[in-house]
Amino acid sequence: MRFFPNLPVMRGSMLGPMVGLSLAFAALQPAGAAEDVAVFPDPSKIAAIGGSITEIVYALGEEKHLVARDSTSRYPRAALGLPDVGYMRQLSPEGVLSVNPTGILALQGSGPREAIDVLKKTSIPFIEVPEHYSREGILEKVRIVGKALGIDAKADALANELEAKLAAAEKQTASIKQRKRVLFVLSIQGGKILAAGSETAADGMVKLAGAVNAVEGFSGYKQMSDEAIVTASPDVVLMMSNAGPPVSDEELFGNPAIASTPAGTARKIIRIDGAYLLGFGPRTADAIHDLTVSLYGGQVTD
């Protein structure tokens, strides 16, 4: 399974037929789209779309409500036993509706938009959970999921616990003066580096770990020119493990632009599981700690 967070949805010639089938399938559903809700009237069979959403449900101890997950929901391991309705950015209404959910709990950014529009027009309650790459964003997700399931008090308790852990993780680098410049590389295609700019999960994690995103001037993910990489002058390259076509150290540091940076000279690369690193869920405080230690070693304060 390939994990490509925050990439724009590709729309090709096959999208039209897919949407047509989706619309036809939606027509078979009970008449009248469900109105916007914050709490599921019947939370007995929830389809969770988005790895962090599934993790939050399990962290709340409410996994009994889940009837399905998407393919980015790979943690905890028990979640793998649930039916998989597909990749969150390439959903089909047929796949989601095939599990007969009483509610759909989807992370913002799920798609394609045409499929989400179809799902929202059915009578099944659909709750979209906002995604913000910050400490506050994680706590908001927890509280929204808890409210959707009708367990506000339980969600508040988890949010308070996570807030304390996140604050402690961020304080680890409070005394560090020289901040590392980090280049997050999503992939290398045709020798071109696809890197993370602002408004991405990678950018958020780099900042939470007390470092600086070496990339400036654009948001999302973008191919960078050799000149831009040299100008970025990263101290460290950060990549996901277990995601997409593997990129070896030899391929990365064999890139002339990367090789001419401080990260290339020192051959400094950090690889962390993509869902763990970029999930922005219950495990993020641990991920911040691990990334911080990898970046700063003995300079980190507990």
107 φ, ψ to 5°?
-75, 140
Is the pLDDT reported for residue 213 higher than 60?
yes
Residue 193 burial by Cβ neighbours in a 10 Å radius (0-12, 13-18, 19+): buried
Taking 80 as the threshold, does the pLDDT of residue 88 lie above it? yes
Calculate mean pLDDT across residues 235-256: 92
How much of the chain, in percent, has pLDDT values that exceed 70?
88
Q: pLDDT exceeding 90 applies to what percent of the chain?
A: 83
Q: Measuring CA to CA, how many Å separate 133 from each of 73, 212, 236, 237?
A: 18, 15, 21, 20
Task: State residue 242 phi and psi, 5-degree precision.
Answer: 60, 40
Q: How far apart are CA 16 and CA 23, in angstroms?
A: 11
CA distances to 73, 82, 286 from 277, in Å: 14, 23, 9
The pair of structure tokens assigned to 65 is 């409500």
CA distance 52 to 60: 12
Q: Which of 34-48, 217-231, 261-275 is predicted with the least confidence, judged by mean pLDDT? A: 34-48
What does the block give as tokens for 214? 């070496």
pLDDT band at 244 (very low <50, low <70, confident <90, very high): confident
Residue 243 binned pLDDT confidence (cut-offs 50, 70, 90): confident
Beta strands 181-189 and 192-196 are antiparallel
- Rounded Cα distance between 19 and 11, Å, is 11
CATH H-level, domain 31-168: superfamily: Nitrogenase molybdenum iron protein domain (3.40.50.1980)
Q: Which amino acid is at 96?
A: V
Mean pLDDT value of segment 148-173: 97
Report the pLDDT averaged over residues 60-85: 98
CA distance 200 to 220: 6
Backbone dihedral angles phi then psi of residue 133, each to the nearest 5 degrees: -90, 70
What is the structure's pLDDT at 36?
A: 67
CB atoms within 10 A of CB 36: 10
- 181-299 has which CATH code? 3.40.50.1980
What is the average pLDDT across 75-79? Answer: 97
Q: What mean pLDDT is reported for the chain?
A: 90
Q: Using CA atoms, how far apart are residues 243 and 223, in angstroms rounded to an integer?
A: 18
Question: Cβ distance 53 to 106 under 8 Å?
Answer: yes
Distance CA(58)–CA(45), nearest Å, equals 14
Q: What is the pLDDT of residues 17-55, one digit of tens each?
A: 443 434 334 333 433 445 568 999 999 999 999 999 999
What is the C-alpha separation between 260 and 235, in angstroms, rounded? Answer: 11
The residue among 218, 236, 221 whose CA lies nearest residue 296 is: 236
| Band of residue 3 on the pLDDT scale cut at 50, 70, 90 | very low
Phi, psi (deg, nearest 5) at residue 128? -100, 130
Residue 10 has pLDDT above 50, yes or no: no
Determine which of 20-34, 114-128, 281-295 has the lowest per-residue pLDDT on average: 20-34
Tokens standing for residue 116: 């989400």
- Mean pLDDT value of segment 74-90: 97
Q: What number of other Cβ atoms are within 10 A of residue 150's Cβ? A: 14
Whether 181-299 and 31-168 are alike in CATH topology: the answer is yes
**Domains of the chain by residue range:** 31-168, 181-299
User: ∠273-278-284 over CA atoms, to 5°?
Assistant: 95
pLDDT one-digit tens code per residue, 164-198: 999 999 999 999 999 999 999 999 988 899 999 99
Which amino acid, one-letter code, is at 130? P
For residues 240 and 279, the answer to whether their CB atoms sit within 8 Å is: no
C-alpha closest to that of 86 among 76, 97, 75: 97
pLDDT recorded at residue 21: 39
pLDDT of res. 7: 46
pLDDT digits (tens, 9 = 90+) for 189-199: 888 999 999 99
pLDDT of residue 23: 36
Q: In this model, does residue 14 exceed pLDDT 70?
A: no
